[in-house]
Amino acid sequence: MSQNVAKLEFFDIEISGNKYDFYQNTFNFIYSLPQLFHFVPCPRHRMPKYDGKSDTVSMSKAIFKKSELKSLGKLSLFIFNLVGLLEKREFEKDGEIWIEINNLTIINLVLKFSGPMHESRLNQVLMGIQISCSILAFFIRFYLASLFYDVVN
């Protein structure tokens, strides 16, 4: 097995790539699930929007009718809102209730907490998150693995 393949013994599957990216990617996938599986309406593009006047990127948003929201979508939005991972606004238009939320990606989540920023600064923040996840993974591997395994090499 090459160095770039992580093997999860519990599931008996192999994941190609850097196994230390797994935490961030897993969080991003779980956070994006409601839009990826269309429990929540998903716009064609979920990347941050660029503002040429201020040369910054800001959080992109999805706008949809409340009636278009499926039950699993309602549950996921409730949970994300409860733990502070969602910016949500309800408003009335043409006699119907509409919902505006931030698109569910880790990039938009960073922009939710930090506000608009220059793209290079956003890249630095995302790289910091990536490095932090890698450090956490190394810590788990080398210091906490001994709780579950007899020998840690």
- pLDDT tens digits for 129-147? 888 888 888 888 777 777 7
Residue 87: inside a domain, yes or no? Answer: yes
79: containing domain = 5-147
Going by their DSSP bridges, the two strands 56-58 and 49-51 should be labelled as antiparallel
Question: Residue range 124-129: average pLDDT?
Answer: 92
Residue 152: inside a domain, yes or no? Answer: no
Residue 35: inside a domain, yes or no? Answer: yes
Question: In this structure, how many other beta carbons lie within 10 angstroms of the beta carbon of residue 48?
Answer: 22
CA distance 73 to 39: 4
Query: Given this model, what pLDDT does residue 141 score?
Result: 77
Residue 30: inside a domain, yes or no? Answer: yes
Q: Tell me the pLDDT band of 150, cut-offs 50, 70 and 90.
A: confident
Q: Is the pLDDT assigned to residue 96 strictly greater than 60?
A: yes
User: Total structural domains in the chain?
Assistant: 1
| C-alpha distance from residue 75 to each of 81, 98, 106, 113, 119 (Å) | 10, 17, 19, 22, 32
